[in-house]
Amino acid sequence: MNNTILAIDIGTTSITAVIAQNDLNNKINILGVSVEESEGINKGLITNIEIASKTIKEAVQNVNKGVLHAVDSTLVSISSAYTKGIRSMGSVNVPNGQITQSEINQVLQMALYNATIVPEYDVIHVLPIYFKVDDSQHIDNPLNMNGARLEVSVYIVTAKKTALTNIKSALKSSNIEVTNFVLSGYASAISVLDDQQKKFGASLLDIGGSTTDIVCFKGKSIIYNDFLPIGSANITNDLSITHSTPLRSAEMLKLKYANLLPQENNLNKENNIIDKIDAPILGDEQNMKKIPLDSFQIIIHARVEEILVIAREKIKKSGASSSLGAGVTITGGMSLLPGLKELAQEVFDNIPVKIANPINIRNGYMSFDDPTMSTIVGLLLYGLDPNPNFELDSNKKLRQKKVVTQQMLNNLNDIKSNTSNPLHKKQETLPRISEQDKAKGVSKFWKKFSEWF
pLDDT tens, 233-254?
A: 999 999 999 999 999 999 999 9
What's the pTM?
Answer: 0.85
At 342 the pLDDT is 95
Render pLDDT for 112-135 as a digit per residue (tens, 0 to 9).
999 999 999 999 999 999 999 998
The pLDDT score that the predictor gives to residue 274 is: 77
Please check whether residues 258 and 137 belong to one and the same domain. Answer: no
Same domain, 150 and 212: no
Q: Is the pLDDT of residue 159 over 50?
A: yes
- Residue 61: inside a domain: no
- Residue where a domain stops, chosen among 329, 355, 381: 355
Tell me if 149 is assigned to some domain: yes
Residue 150 shares a structural domain with residue 200: no
pLDDT at 335: 94
Calculate what percentage of the chain has a pLDDT beyond 90: 64
Instruction: Taking the CA atoms of 378, 381, 382 and 387 in sequence, report the sign of the dihedral they define.
Output: negative
In 3D space, the residue among 288, 286, 238 whose CA is nearest the CA of residue 258 turns out to be: 238
| Domain end marker among 105, 132, 160 | 160
Look at 172-181, 196-205, 358-367, 396-405 and tell me which has the smallest mean pLDDT: 396-405
Average the pLDDT over 151-160 and give the result.
96
Write the pLDDT tens digit of every residue in 15-28.
999 999 998 888 89
Contact 442, 422 (CB under 8 A): no
Residue 275 belongs to some domain of the structure:
yes
* pLDDT tens, residue by residue, 182-223: 999 999 999 999 989 998 999 999 999 889 999 999 888 999
pLDDT grade for 326, boundaries at 50, 70 and 90: very high
The answer to whether residue 188 is domain-embedded is: no
The answer to whether residues 186 and 378 touch, using CB atoms and an 8 Å cutoff, is yes
- Same domain for 253 and 125? no
Judged against a pLDDT cut of 50, whether residue 417 lies above it is answered with no
Given a cut of 80, whether residue 262 has pLDDT beyond it is no
Report the chain's C-alpha Rg in angstroms.
Answer: 26
Query: Are 329 and 439 members of one domain?
Result: no
Does residue 313 have a pLDDT over 70? yes
Average pLDDT over residues 102-106: 96
Element at 398 (helix H, strand E)? strand 398-399
Residue pair 313/225 in contact (Cβ under 8 Å)? The answer is no
Domain co-membership, 327 together with 250: yes
Q: For residues 205 and 351, state if they share a domain.
A: yes
Instruction: Quickly state the pLDDT bin for 423 (edges 50, 70, 90).
Output: very low
In terms of domains, do 351 and 204 share one?
yes
Which phi-psi region, left, alpha or beta, contains residue 95 (left: φ > 0; alpha: ψ -120 to 50)? alpha
Please indicate whether residue 277 or residue 418 has the higher confidence score (pLDDT).
277
pLDDT of residue 136: 85
Last residue of a domain, one of 102, 132, 160: 160
Task: Pick the more confident residue, 435 or 325.
Answer: 325
**Do 341 and 201 share a domain, yes or no?**
yes
Judged against a pLDDT cut of 50, whether residue 446 lies above it is answered with no
Looking at every residue in the chain, the average pLDDT score rounds to 85
Q: Number of structural domains, the chain?
A: 3
Whether residues 207 and 300 fall in one domain: yes
> Is 439 contained in some domain?
yes
Domain with residue 302: its CATH number is 3.30.420.40
CATH number, domain containing residue 135: 3.30.1490.110
pLDDT at 266: 60
Q: Is residue 434 part of a domain?
A: yes
The pLDDT, as a whole number, for residue 108 is 97
| Together in a domain, 133 and 219 | no
Share of the chain above pLDDT 70, in %: 85
Residue 102 parent element (H or E): helix 101-114
Q: Is residue 34 part of a domain?
A: no
For the stretch 135-144, pLDDT in tens is 888 898 999 9
In a domain, 24, yes or no: no
Residue 122's domain spans which residues?
83-160
For residue 76, which of 171, 169, 165, 9 has the smallest C-alpha distance?
Answer: 9
Q: Is 224 found in the same domain as 329?
A: yes
